[in-house]
Chain A
């Protein structure tokens, strides 16, 4: 293999692939980036057997070929070489790839690529293109409440559903639940549903953010979701298993609906949380409502206590406590001027939604389990 291409372009693409290639893998071949030259371009591929990435850039291909290059060192060298043209030449008898720019020459060990896995492809006939910002906005709204605990893998994923002309995403870590629906211009036949690893969607967001593209191509098969963003194709294995029946968790009616100014509440919560950062078990933050007023309280046995008062649309006395971090997440995800809290009893889940202008159902909700307040019970 022998190619010449622009160093900056190559460095950007190698960096994308190197993020996916694992530092250590049970299949050592995957610690490398597969580099293929042919048809006027150089394509790169990497996988950690869950996520996979392919990307390509234009190049002068003087000799076609296929080689596997250890990811970390390849990325580090290409990134730090001076700008301009870079030459890649594979010497298969010596087992090295030569990287050369003006006056610089690096040789890295390179390997035969026969054992590399077949990566999922974007099937153009079974894929659809979405407005990228709508997809990413939806991902952002549900990204706080997926589980980081890998003992229940299904909760580390995002339930994605395409139906009619909207996308819905759901995540839950069993302490809170986020649901976000976003309208799309597409029209879907039937319902398409999958559990996609949250990590994969974060990667899609990163790639989209740096791409300058508008659309994201999506194709879903039984085992894989594949996202096409410009010349990058990101594949991910889907998570097997069944997602919790989240609709059953949503109370049908709420006894109370209280509106609180969002900005003030957010500032208050950030301040009072200073008392409870990194405490385990978490110290609850209590919301004590009375007519027209909300008192936010935190008591830490070790450090002291905090109280703040805010205005609220409440009309009876009611107190409920939450994990401060989870409450902050919910309030910060709402983007209307006021936050609407919906409550039943103190030990039943509460709901946080944005204020709607016309009284219609909003397209985002955040359900949160209360904590028992040790100072009250």
Chain B
């Protein structure tokens, strides 16, 4: 079986990678771009394991522990020039065990200086190094970098395929988690495996459907969601410490990493909370439009139908749009609480205005 055998989706990409492995035609650099959680890193790691191995990749290589595979994690928000220089240096060094070196980088975190430092090496590595660049989108990568790499677009994975994967892993309610994953294997797995994420969803659902009568009620609902997001962050921090805490001699670095993991976990959860809110309204719009089979929150169909009945004529699609818009504001460092309050207030007005029941 191919090393890509158990990858969900991305058939075209895997075929193209396999054929370049088989028939030569390897590129010095690949840009894997597509939404978060669809499997870019997973595919990159497998591809890297094959690239560095003389024959069949070893278990160690597949586990990401081969010395000639170097994964560069951004330091905070950016991959720094220092990290880029280290990559340039290593790229010119012959491999330790394998046939070449492979670097996995987050290309959308390269700042201009770091990118410039990499350009020459990317175009014409001195050794036979191969660069696997990952990014949310091709547009998020500096053109000078993107133009030097072979671009492969990762699309969201079809929900039934994600469901299949979850079932194979013995997950219960696979269909629901797969639908909530919205094309991301990673996200579906988090819903399936992390209670924190599921609790946050409960809180979002409650806030989205409660239409509180006063500001206090709204504030409470918001607080509950924010608290859940904090918990997700705390869980990330704990997981990071469990993974890294073993090497006590690197104490300060571990602490710094844990702090970062916590913040990143919380921010991701906050973004997900707003997307979930949008999803609730999208589902309501689907029910109102008479196509309830399209809803993602399949376990809440009854509640959704009741809400639609209670507020006939409400502009659910408009509400979904508001939630999605507000999600963007998170990137400007506005707190989750503030963004949620504004979003829910606007949604409240919107649904009320068009609903005769109010």
Residues of A with Cβ closer than 8 Å to B? Answer: 23-24, 26-31, 47, 49-50, 52, 70, 72-73, 109, 111, 114-115, 117-120, 150-151, 153-154, 156, 197, 222-224, 237-241
The 5 closest A-B pairs by CB, nearest first: A153-B92, A240-B127, A241-B126, A223-B94, A117-B67
Judging by beta carbons under 8 Å apart, are B67 and A154 in contact?
Answer: no
Task: Identify the closest chain A residue to B86 (Cβ).
Answer: A150
Among candidates B94, B96, B127, residue contacting A117 with C-beta atoms closer than 8 Å:
B96
Known: A115-B60, A151-B117. A109 touches B246 (CB 8 A): yes
Judging by beta carbons under 8 Å apart, are B249 and A239 in contact?
Answer: no
Within B35-78, the residues touching A (CB, 8 Å) are: 60, 63, 65-68, 70-72
Judging by beta carbons under 8 Å apart, are A114 and B247 in contact?
Answer: no
Q: Which residues of A contact B16 (CB under 8 A)?
A: none
Chain B, residues 97-126, CB within 8 Å of chain A (1/0): the string is 100000000000000000001000000011
Judging by beta carbons under 8 Å apart, are A49 and B89 in contact?
Answer: no
Sampled A-B contacts (14; CB under 8 Å): A28-B247, A47-B67, A47-B96, A117-B67, A117-B96, A118-B97, A119-B96, A151-B85, A151-B88, A151-B117, A153-B93, A237-B94, A240-B92, A240-B93
Q: How far is the CB of B216 from chain A (nearest CB, A)?
A: 49
B95 at the interface (CB under 8 A from A): yes
B7 at the interface (CB under 8 A from A): no
Judging by beta carbons under 8 Å apart, are A27 and B93 in contact?
Answer: no
Judging by beta carbons under 8 Å apart, are A70 and B249 in contact?
Answer: yes
Among candidates B85, B126, B244, B247, residue contacting A150 with C-beta atoms closer than 8 Å:
B85
Judging by beta carbons under 8 Å apart, are A237 and B249 in contact?
Answer: no
Q: How far is the CA of A42 from the CA of B127 in the complex (A)?
A: 36
Q: Which residues of A contact B250 (CB under 8 A)?
A: 23-24, 31
B149 at the interface (CB under 8 A from A): no
Judging by beta carbons under 8 Å apart, are B67 and A150 in contact?
Answer: no
Judging by beta carbons under 8 Å apart, are B88 and A50 in contact?
Answer: no
Task: Identify the closest chain B residue to A32 (Cβ).
Answer: B247
Q: Which residues of A contact B89 (CB under 8 A)?
A: 150, 153, 156
Q: Which residues of A contact B6 (CB under 8 A)?
A: none
Judging by beta carbons under 8 Å apart, are A31 and B67 in contact?
Answer: no
Q: How far is the CA of A266 from the CA of B265 in the complex (A)?
A: 62
Q: How far is the CB of A94 from chain B (nearest CB, A)?
A: 13
Q: Which residues of B contact A238 (CB under 8 A)?
A: 93-94
Judging by beta carbons under 8 Å apart, are A237 and B96 in contact?
Answer: yes
Judging by beta carbons under 8 Å apart, are B246 and A49 in contact?
Answer: no
Q: Residue among B90, B91, B94 with the most chain A CB within 10 A? A: B94
Q: How far is the CA of A222 from the CA of B99 in the complex (A)?
A: 10
B214 at the interface (CB under 8 A from A): no
Judging by beta carbons under 8 Å apart, are A153 and B88 in contact?
Answer: yes
Q: How far is the CB of A69 from chain B (nearest CB, A)?
A: 11
Judging by beta carbons under 8 Å apart, are B92 and A29 in contact?
Answer: no
Q: Which residues of A contact B96 (CB under 8 A)?
A: 47, 49-50, 52, 117, 119-120, 223-224, 237
Judging by beta carbons under 8 Å apart, are B72 and A26 in contact?
Answer: yes
Q: How far is the CB of A167 from chain B (nearest CB, A)?
A: 21
Q: How far is the CB of A92 from chain B (nearest CB, A)?
A: 14
Judging by beta carbons under 8 Å apart, are B68 and A49 in contact?
Answer: yes
Judging by beta carbons under 8 Å apart, are B65 and A222 in contact?
Answer: no
Q: Residue among B66, B92, B253 with the most chain A CB within 10 A? A: B92
Judging by beta carbons under 8 Å apart, are A109 and B248 in contact?
Answer: yes
Q: Which residues of B contact A223 (CB under 8 A)?
A: 94-96
Judging by beta carbons under 8 Å apart, are A26 and B71 in contact?
Answer: yes
Known: A24-B250, A24-B253. A30 touches B93 (CB 8 A): no
Q: Which residues of B contact A23 (CB under 8 A)?
A: 250
Q: Which residues of B contact A118 (CB under 8 A)?
A: 97
Q: How far is the CA of A26 from the CA of B248 in the complex (A)?
A: 16
Among candidates A47, A50, A73, A224, residue contacting B249 with C-beta atoms closer than 8 Å:
A73
Q: How far is the CA of A154 from the CA of B124 in the complex (A)?
A: 14
Among candidates A31, A52, A224, residue contacting B94 with C-beta atoms closer than 8 Å:
A224
Judging by beta carbons under 8 Å apart, are B65 and A29 in contact?
Answer: yes
Q: A115-B65, A153-B88 are in contact. List 19 more A-B contacts (CB 8 A).
A: A24-B250, A29-B65, A31-B247, A50-B93, A70-B248, A70-B249, A109-B246, A109-B247, A117-B66, A117-B67, A117-B96, A150-B85, A154-B126, A197-B93, A224-B96, A238-B94, A239-B126, A240-B125, A241-B126
Q: How far is the CA of A153 from the CA of B87 in the complex (A)?
A: 11
Q: Which residues of A contact B60 (CB under 8 A)?
A: 114-115
Q: How far is the CA of A306 from the CA of B66 in the complex (A)?
A: 58
Task: Identify the closest chain B residue to A242 (Cβ).
Answer: B126
Judging by beta carbons under 8 Å apart, are B249 and A72 in contact?
Answer: yes
Q: Which residues of B contact A31 (CB under 8 A)?
A: 247, 249-250
Q: How far is the CA of A72 from the CA of B70 in the complex (A)?
A: 23
Q: How far is the CB of B109 from chain A (nearest CB, A)?
A: 16
Q: How far is the CA of A25 from the CA of B247 in the complex (A)?
A: 12
Q: How far is the CA of A23 from the CA of B71 in the complex (A)?
A: 17
Q: How far is the CA of A238 from the CA of B94 in the complex (A)?
A: 5
Q: Which residues of A contact B93 (CB under 8 A)?
A: 50, 153, 197, 237-240
